[in-house]
């Protein structure tokens, strides 16, 4: 009854909610409320369009253009911000911050759009704040002529502003692919854009190449548009395959590196340029953290040395420090080497698209063609109108006195134009033009001078028509514009290009402290690394009950070590991977340290192994077989930590010998029989998993197995050389003397 009552109550509640007019399903809420917001952020705020501008940039620059700041003196930034609010109804600070990034003083752009005076902060520093808008001044940079060229000739659509009180351009008719020249970062809802900057001259050449040959492929573009060029300079670590991926897909990382100089007189490093994607504060924080952790013992001091000359980060070195090696370390662990994450999302016809470099150039060419078509059509209409008026003016040249007489004898003002139309057979537009001529200009000289323009006008009209009617001539017209822009505004690259093959990669070996120590290793797999100082007065080593030492020797902290295990696996490690111990400690348990499998034990430890083909390792198995394998079979690429199937698992391993010479070694079986043989008697196999299927090293009877393999047998078995030595295999074991184990 209780369950039925609860179900009924739940049903009544759902019926009530669904009948409530305030109730709205979540899917409907997302569709009606969230989606319009998301689209608005993408299209109207965060993602640039094909002209290379976000709406906030476009509104600001157009406001400055309408204020007459293309020429003349600068005005206070506060005036610009106030006027921009007529198009961009956001807070004054957000508008001012937009302008700051476009200024020459901020150094965010290769080609700034705003000529600025005053403190505008710096792109490479997040703490160098810009001054308030009432203190700074600005006007448009002459370079802006190339982004407004044709805007007054109907080159682009003009749309209402937010309150329909004025008009603003939907796009700016940029004369060059600004989308690739100006860096752009933006985060929308579920979508981001990160477009790096390229050198203007190279971008113009790339656009010309695509105009001349639509089939221009990525390989050719890579030869022309070599790599991104960032305002802050630095160096691009050039990987052609990675760059090809960015050019083709519009997505991928660009690896950047700082530029530096070594000052020998002061024993200091001067960082002169840093990656565009970082800041001096981020770099100094990482250096500070490393310094506090004792990871930068090579330096004594570092400081922000930015002055009027520009960026500078000074690092004072300790005497004897190798500056190049230190910089490799800093490149590895600080943002002095950083990635710029390319993500070329662009708004095309109101929708976001991720485009490669060629696709962006193709879309820009389409956009620019439309702008030029509209601009040339505007000029054509204007010239046709002027020609039409001049042709009418030419008709009064035949009888100027008649024109004067018609005007003089017409009684009413509104009849002058109709009478001229009748008297000279002209239309109303031509008659209006004739009627408006001043009396002083009704002479033959004035009229002849005006009529001289007719031939030039006809030639210009024919040229414009030819361009509009011929796609090839339209492309040639665009190519000429791009060539002129390159010649006028082109600059040398700021960002150097260095080959990835030439870059020295940092080795963790540099971070490893080099010192001598004493190594102790036990049968159960415990390892002790003890400094000589710690060993003084502590000769006795603590061991686990039942355990015993099987190795003791001097090592360096930078030595390498490998461990063969009873599960046919090989583990790679460095002595620096193991912490220092004391004589009173049990030491580091190797299976746990190297993450062995359950019940896996060390079968052999080799310090500083040689992976040369002449170096051999001997595997002796419990079934009496033995094999020699070249150590080169265990050489690996990279920092591999584990190698499976290091040797055959057809029989359990009885012993492993790292062959140092052709000295005898001893094999003992479960029946206390032994043989002494040279390594050279055992065949060499070139594969790791070989077990020596053709020859046994020692003959064994049923249920017998090898239990020991010894190289240091002389002290314990002095009779061995005389009693157990064999000159060929397989060999039958000799019963050992009583009392020997």
For 453-504, the pLDDT digits (tens) are 888 899 999 999 999 999 999 999 999 999 999 999 999 999 999 998 888 7
pLDDT confidence bin for 1, thresholds 50/70/90: low
Q: Which helix (H) or strand (E) holds 667?
A: strand 665-669
Strands 516-522 and 549-556: antiparallel
| CA distances in angstroms from 632 to 213, 617, 628, 655, 660, listed in the order given | 53, 10, 12, 20, 15
Q: Stretch 423-449: mean pLDDT, rounded? A: 83
Predicted confidence at residue 687, as pLDDT, reads 81
Burial of 644 (0-12, 13-18, 19+ CB in 10 A): exposed
* Helix (H), strand (E) at residue 467: helix 453-469
Based on the residue annotation, tell me whether 135 is a catalytic residue of this protein. Answer: yes
- Band (pLDDT 50/70/90 cuts) for residue 131 is very high
Topology of domain 508-735, CATH? Neuraminidase (2.120.10)
Please check whether residue 256 is in contact with residue 276, taking contact to mean a CB–CB distance below 8 angstroms.
yes
* Cα Rg of the chain (Å, integer): 42
Place of tokens 């009704």: 442
Does 3 score more than 70 pLDDT? no
The SS3 of residue 326 is: helix
Residue 258, pLDDT above cutoff 80: yes
Q: Is the pLDDT of residue 128 over 80?
A: yes
**Lowest-confidence segment of 51-55, 255-259, 343-347, 611-615 by average pLDDT:** 611-615
Note the pLDDT tens digit of each residue in 35-67.
555 555 555 567 899 999 999 999 999 999 999
Picking from 326, 61, 91, 361, the residue whose alpha carbon sits closest to that of residue 207 is 361
294: pLDDT confidence band, cut at 50, 70 and 90? confident
Percent of the chain at pLDDT above 90?
62
pLDDT reported for residue 32: 60
Average pLDDT over residues 424-448: 83
Establish whether domains 47-174 and 259-335 are of one fold.
no
Distances (CA, A) of 628 to 135, 566, 647, 669: 82, 17, 10, 20
Average pLDDT for 201-211: 97
* Structural contact between residues 274 and 258, judged by C-beta atoms closer than 8 angstroms: yes
As a whole number, the mean pLDDT across the chain is 88
pLDDT class for 409, splitting at 50, 70, 90?
A: confident
Burial of 225 (0-12, 13-18, 19+ CB in 10 A): buried
pTM score of the predicted model: 0.73
Identify the pLDDT of residue 15. Answer: 62
pLDDT at 508: 64
pLDDT at 603 over 60: yes
pLDDT band at 637 (very low <50, low <70, confident <90, very high): confident
Residue 685: the pLDDT is 87
Tell me what the mean pLDDT of segment 700-722 comes to. Answer: 90
Tokens of 314: 């000074």
**Helices 400-409 & 416-424, crossing angle to 10 degrees?**
150
Averaged pLDDT for residues 92-105: 94
Q: Is the pLDDT reported for residue 347 higher than 80?
A: yes
Which of 45-49, 252-256, 555-559 is modeled with the greatest confidence? 252-256
User: Is residue 706's pLDDT more than 90?
Assistant: yes
- Give the contacts of 678 (CB within 8 A, at least 6 positions apart): 662, 663, 664
Q: Which pLDDT belongs to residue 379? A: 95
Cis peptide, bond prior to residue 244, ω within 30 of zero:
no
The H or E element spanning position 84 is: helix 77-84
- Tell me the pLDDT tens digit for each residue of 496-533: 999 988 887 766 666 677 788 999 999 999 999 998 88
Sheet containing 299-304, strands listed edge to edge, beginning at the edge strand earlier in sequence: 259-263, 268-273, 313-317, 299-304
| pLDDT value at residue 340 | 95
Task: Give the right CATH number for 362-489 from 3.90.1150.10, 1.10.3720.10, 1.10.630.10, 1.10.268.10.
Answer: 1.10.268.10
Q: Rounded to an integer, what distance in angstroms lies between the CA atom of residue 517 and that of residue 555?
A: 5
pLDDT band at 19 (very low <50, low <70, confident <90, very high): low
Q: Which two tokens stand for residue 140?
A: 């448009």
CATH fold for the domain made of 259-335: Gyrase A; domain 2 (3.30.1360)
> Which range is least confidently modeled, 3-12, 241-250, 352-361, 721-730?
3-12
What is the pLDDT averaged over residues 606-621?
92
- The predicted pLDDT at position 393 comes to 81
Class of domain 47-174: alpha beta
Tokens of 222: 């890579």
Query: Among the options 13, 34, 37, 135, which is catalytic?
Result: 135
The confidence band for 191, taking pLDDT boundaries of 50, 70 and 90, is confident
- Is the predicted pLDDT of residue 741 greater than 70, yes or no? no
Residues 6 or more apart from 162 whose CB is under 8 A from it?
A: 87, 89
Rounded to an integer, the average pLDDT of 602-627 is 92
Mean pLDDT is lowest, of 15-19, 48-52, 397-401, for 15-19
pLDDT above 60 (res 168): yes
> Hey, where are the domains in the chain?
2-29, 47-174, 259-335, 362-489, 508-735
């Amino acid at each position: 009854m209780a369950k039925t009552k609860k179900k009924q109550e739940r049903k009544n509640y759902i019926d009530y909610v669904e009948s409530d007019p305030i109730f709205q399903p979540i899917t409907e809420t997302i569709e009606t409320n969230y989606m319009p917001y998301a689209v608005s952020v993408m299209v109207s705020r965060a993602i640039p369009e094909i002209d290379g501008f976000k709406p906030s940039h476009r509104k600001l620059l157009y406001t400055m253009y309408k204020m007459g700041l293309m020429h003349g003196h600068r005005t206070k930034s506060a005036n610009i911000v106030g006027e921009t609010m007529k198009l961009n109804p956001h807070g004054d600070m957000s508008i001012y911050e937009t302008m700051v990034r476009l200024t020459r003083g901020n150094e965010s752009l290769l080609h700034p759009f705003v000529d600025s005076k005053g403190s505008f902060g710096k792109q490479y520093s997040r703490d160098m704040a810009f001054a308030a808008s009432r203190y700074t001044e600005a006007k448009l940079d002459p370079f802006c002529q190339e982004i407004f060229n044709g805007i007054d000739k109907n080159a682009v659509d003009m749309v209402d502003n937010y309150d329909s009180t004025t008009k603003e351009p939907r796009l700016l008719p940029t004369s060059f692919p600004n989308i690739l020249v100006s860096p752009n970062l933006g985060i929308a809802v579920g979508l981001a854009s990160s477009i790096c900057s390229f050198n203007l001259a190279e971008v113009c050449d790339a656009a010309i190449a695509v105009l001349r040959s639509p089939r221009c492929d990525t390989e050719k573009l890579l030869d022309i548009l070599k790599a991104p060029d960032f305002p802050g300079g630095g160096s691009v670590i050039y990987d052609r395959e990675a760059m090809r991926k960015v050019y083709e897909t519009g997505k991928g990382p660009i690896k950047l590196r700082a530029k530096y100089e070594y000052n020998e007189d002061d024993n200091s490093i001067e960082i002169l340029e840093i990656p565009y994607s970082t800041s001096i504060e981020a770099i100094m924080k990482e250096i500070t953290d490393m310094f506090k952790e004792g990871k930068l013992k090579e330096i004594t001091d570092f400081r922000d040395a930015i002055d009027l000359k520009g960026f500078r980060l000074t690092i004072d070195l300790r005497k004897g420090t190798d500056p190049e090696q230190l910089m490799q370390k800093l490149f590895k662990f600080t943002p002095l080497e950083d990635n710029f994450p390319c993500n070329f999302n662009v708004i095309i016809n109101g929708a976001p698209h991720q485009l490669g470099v060629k696709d962006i150039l193709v879309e820009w060419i389409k956009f620019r063609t439309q702008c030029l078509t509209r601009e040339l059509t505007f000029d054509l209409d204007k010239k046709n109108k002027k020609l039409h008026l001049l042709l009418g003016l030419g008709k009064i040249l035949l009888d100027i006195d008649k024109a004067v007489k018609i005007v003089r004898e017409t009684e009413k003002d509104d009849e002058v134009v109709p009478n001229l139309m009748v008297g000279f057979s002209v239309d109303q537009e031509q008659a209006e033009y004739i009627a408006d001529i001043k009396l002083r200009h009704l002479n033959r000289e004035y009229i002849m001078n005006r009529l001289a323009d007719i031939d030039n006008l006809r030639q210009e009209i024919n040229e414009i028509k030819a361009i509009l009617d011929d796609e090839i001539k339209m492309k040639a017209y665009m190519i000429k514009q791009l060539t002129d822009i390159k010649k006028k505004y082109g600059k040398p690259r700021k960002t150097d290009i260095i080959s990835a093959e030439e870059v020295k990669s940092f080795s963790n070996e540099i971070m490893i402290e080099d010192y001598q120590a004493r190594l102790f290793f036990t049968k159960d797999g415990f390892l002790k690394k003890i400094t000589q100082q710690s060993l003084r007065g502590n000769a006795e080593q603590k061991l686990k009950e039942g355990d015993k030492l099987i190795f003791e020797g001097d090592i360096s902290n930078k030595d390498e070590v490998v461990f063969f295990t009873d599960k046919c696996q090989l583990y790679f490690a460095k002595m620096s991977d193991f912490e220092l111990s004391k004589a009173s400690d049990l030491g580091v348990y190797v299976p746990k340290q190297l993450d062995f499998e359950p019940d896996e034990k060390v079968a052999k430890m080799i310090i500083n192994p040689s992976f040369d083909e002449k170096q051999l390792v001997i595997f002796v198995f419990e079934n009496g077989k033995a094999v020699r394998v070249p150590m080169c079979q265990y050489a690996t690429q990279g920092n591999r930590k584990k190698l499976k199937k290091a040797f055959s698992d057809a029989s359990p391993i009885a012993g492993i010998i790292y062959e140092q010479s052709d000295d005898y070694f001893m094999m003992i079986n479960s029946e206390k029989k032994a043989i002494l043989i040279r390594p050279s008697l055992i065949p060499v196999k070139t594969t790791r998993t070989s077990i020596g299927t053709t020859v046994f090293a020692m003959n064994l009877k049923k249920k017998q197995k090898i239990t020991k393999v010894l190289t240091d047998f002389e002290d314990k078995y002095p009779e061995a050389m005389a009693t157990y030595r064999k000159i060929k295999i397989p060999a039958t074991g000799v019963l050992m003397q009583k009392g020997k184990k």
